[in-house]
A and B are shown apart, each in its own frame.
Chain A
Amino acid sequence: MSTRVEIPQQVAPVKAAHARGRSWRGSIDTLRALGRFTRRKPLGAIGAVIVVALLVMAVFAEQIAPYGYDESIRGARMQSPSATYWLGTDNLSRDIWSRIVYGARVSITIGFATVGMAVALATTVGVSSGYFGGIYDLIVQRVVDAWLSFPALVIVLSVMAVLGPGLLNVALSLAIIIAAINSRVIRGATIAIAHGTYVEAARAVGCGHARIIMRHILPNVVATIIILATIGLGTAILAESALSFLGFGVPPPYPAWGAMLSGSGRTYMFRAPWMAIWPGVAISLAVFGFNMLGDALRDVLDPRLRGSGSVR
């Protein structure tokens, strides 16, 4: 005897129609929410467009860029911007637009790697410090204090001297700094939540620390973490460009926007100013996009965080 439940033939199309209706309604709701966000936060919407464009450039660099990032074009040394070479060419006859498109990949990779590591570290430190408090909090906060007393770029350069150049090392050194700043904000949010009556109630019914943190604290600090991560992406891209400019970033010939501004970008800047202009425009636009989006998300998700700002 079979236990399979047969769906009557006429029910299946009705179910499918319901599902289609739900999916249509879902799409319309999403579009409406996007429209509301655009009306309420036009600058945030501009930021979102820039961020999406940047992500598309990073993912589809091979399809978007007309030339390879290290491809020398015969007879096209230091050509000014034109219909053929949109942003001009550099001293090694490479197309600057193509290099900027590939450079987005470096910025996005380092940005996300940095923020991923920073968020994991900041959440661990911030939540545990805010939740457990006492002598543990005191010691952790003094270490964070000490870490924050160092100028970010100074300590990042010192860490890079220890780790050596490279994509992962850049992300790691930046993550340590961003995590220290973010852990403070997450700790503050955790303290506010840890004193809530529902946390007290959970404790009263015998929930352990791990359960309280996972089920009650973490879901309530997620909004704070999303905002910090978005703003942190802009900060990481800016800091990475500074490190690349100083020669501590991704080694050549892979194009990093900051590195494009140093070296030959500076040597030939008077003869071919476009070599120094466009990489800077790309950095500024990318950071502007993430900052705008982060600001708008903060206003929508958690206005209490206004003023926590970004780091430089």
Chain B
Amino acid sequence: MLRRYLAKRLLVAIPSLLIASLIVFTLPRLIPGDVVVLMLAEKAYAKDLDELRAKLGLDRPLPVQYVEWLGRVARGDLGESLWTKRPVLEEIGQRLPITFELAMFGLFFALLIAIPVGLIAAARQDTIQDYVARSAAILGLSVPGFWLATLLIVLPAIWWGWRPVTGFVEFSRDPVGHVTQLLLPALILGIATGAALMRLTRGMLLEVLRQDYVRTAWAKGLTERVIVMKHGLRNAIIPVVTLLGTQLPQVIGGTVIIETVFGLPGMSRFLFDAINQRDYPVIQGVNLVVVSLIVVINLTIDALYAVLDPRIRY
């Protein structure tokens, strides 16, 4: 049954992925005027416009260009960066692990904040703890990550003379230094997601704690800790796991700012630089890789959802 469900989800995911690829392909071609003229204005890349147009395959009809581009993508060829002249896939391969690590650490911090706070807020509904937790969650959703990052750089420097490490430390050189440098950026990245997850954890837990079996557990004389942790949280956690999937695009979007503020050479910063330099093959490549990763991760989360909750039959 699970296999059939996953096959069905895959069938739905394929058209979405194809439409996403069409969006990625179309975006640079929507630029008013001639993209080749723009490229030449940005950086002398070829001797004349026709040569560049032929090189990029822009002299053929759009549907042909799309099919050819898709064929190249299927063979792992995302083109060449206009600035570094290196294959886009190779460039992404070098930077993707940093962004992935940052996003995973961010999600870890988000869960670390969301579950205990959501649990306390639900278990102490309409008390001062609940109000503080809910207000803090809305505040967490309202504070811009780049401002928080700026404050966490400025204030400790003014008060204690401490500044976060600048410059990227590779894992192979100094594993501890590598992980340490990611902690602060990941914490900032995780705050907004943590706030959204906390609100969901609280809501789900409140719903579960009103179920009959929870009333039975109270009647049996079980302690609050057992009821909330064993009967409540276990059942409330499933939608939270699902929401992790929907939050993933936002976490990756957040890495654009965090990587820029902390000077981390990740994929999002690479995209940001490419946008500033109008490096279209890179913009297309990064967008395509990001969207494909998100679709695959969401599929995995769907599978995980089915495994986590044996009651679910597809």
Contact = CB atoms under 8 A, between A and B. Distances in A.
Contacts of B74: none
A259 to B, nearest CB: 11
Given A43-B135, A154-B252, A159-B27, A146 B16 contact: yes
Contacts of B54: none
B162 interface: no
B250 A288 contact: no
Contacts of B291: 146, 149-150
B275 A160 contact: yes
B294 A149 contact: yes
Interface stretch (B115-123, B151-159, B215-223): B151-159
Contacts, number: 163
The residue in B154, B155, B278 that gathers the most chain A C-beta atoms within 10 A of its C-beta is: B154
Given A276-B151, A284-B139, A152 B144 contact: no
B256 interface: yes
Main SS class of interface, B: helix
Contacts of B31: 162
A145 B154 contact: no
Nearest to A287: B142
A311 interface: yes
A297 B150 CA distance: 33
A300 interface: no
B95 to A, nearest CB: 14
A306 B283 CA distance: 36
Interface in B14-43: 15-17, 19-20, 22-23, 27-28, 30-31
Contact of B249 (A148, A245, A258, A266): A148
Interface string B64-92: 00000000000000000000000000000
Interface stretch (A122-130, A189-197, A234-242): A234-242
B290 A284 contact: no
A312 B192 contact: yes
B271 interface: yes
Interface string B122-154: 000000000100110011011111111011011
Given A150-B287, A158-B287, 18 more contacts: A145-B19, A146-B17, A146-B291, A150-B20, A150-B294, A151-B249, A151-B253, A151-B256, A151-B290, A152-B253, A154-B290, A158-B275, A238-B144, A246-B260, A265-B150, A280-B148, A280-B150, A284-B144
Which A-B residue pairs are the 4 nearest by beta carbons?
A: A151-B253, A280-B147, A153-B253, A146-B19
